[in-house]
Amino acid sequence: MKDGFVSKGSVKSFFRQGELRVSKDLYAALNGEVRQMLDRAAKRATANGRTTMLPHDL
C-alpha cells in the first residue's frame, strides 16, 4: 500500500488542534500500528469462523 492506512492531512489537523507538530516518521509508525491492529482483528474473525470483520474484532 503506497500511502498507508491513515491520511496525513487528517493526522496533521488532529494534532494542530492541540498546537502540536508532527514528525515525518510518525506516519510510518502509525500505519504500522494500524496494520497490526487490522491483522489481529482479521485473525480473530477467522478464528471465530467469520469472513466479515466486526467492530468487536478490533
Percent of the chain predicted with pLDDT > 70? 95
Alpha carbon distance 30, 44 (integer Å): 21
- Structurally, how many domains does the chain consist of? 1
pTM above 0.85, yes or no: no
* In a domain? residue 9: no
Q: Is residue 34 part of a domain?
A: yes
Q: Which residue range(s) make up the domain with 39?
A: 23-49+54-58
- Residues 5-23: tens digit of each pLDDT: 989 999 999 999 989 999 9
Inside any domain, residue 15: no
How far, CA to CA in Å, does 3 sit from each of 6, 7, 9, 36, 41? 8, 8, 12, 16, 21
How high is the pLDDT of residue 25? 94
Torsion, CA 40, CA 46, CA 48, CA 52, rounded to 10: 100
Domain for residue 3, yes or no? no
17 located within any domain: no
Q: Nearest-5° angle of CA 30, CA 34, CA 35?
A: 115
